[in-house]
Amino acid sequence: DVKVTQSSRYLVKRTGEKVFLECVQDMDHENMFWYRQDPGLGLRLIYFSYDVKMKEKGDIPEGYSVSREKKERFSLILESASTNQTSMYLCASRLGYEQYFGPGTRLTVT
């Protein structure tokens, strides 16, 4: 059974703070993804990675960076959090065509 976990379910940070969101998968998947979920906007891709130390920008990368030092772990970094980054963040990993999602982190930036 595929397992994708995220470090926090809820997170509250202040404007300007550096924020790390961690995602771990246990199925040796090569591809991992970070999405942002906002009502009415669906799931928007921030960054994805197809191998260790490899990354590609998604549709909304501005204000974010990522790190993939190990195959199982993909981190999303908000260098200086802003209130417009308040959102639900979902990580996913891929096997074949199916993407397996983590439980999500609801981030509030005040």
- Chain residues binding other proteins by CB under 8 A are 4, 31, 35, 39-45, 48, 50, 58-59, 90, 94, 97-99, 101-104
Q: Note whether 33 and 91 are within 8 A (CB).
A: yes
Closest by Cα among 9, 34, 53, 39 to 99: 34
Q: At its nearest, how many Å lie between other proteins and the CB of residue 22?
A: 16
**Rounded-to-integer distance, Cα 28 and Cα 36, Å:** 23
Partnered with residue 38 across adjacent β-strands are 42
Q: By C-beta, is 46 or 109 nearer to other proteins?
A: 46
Q: At its nearest, how many Å lie between other proteins and the CB of residue 14?
A: 26
Q: By C-beta, is 35 or 109 nearer to other proteins?
A: 35
**Rounded-to-integer distance, Cα 84 and Cα 28, Å:** 33
Q: By C-beta, is 4 or 21 nearer to other proteins?
A: 4
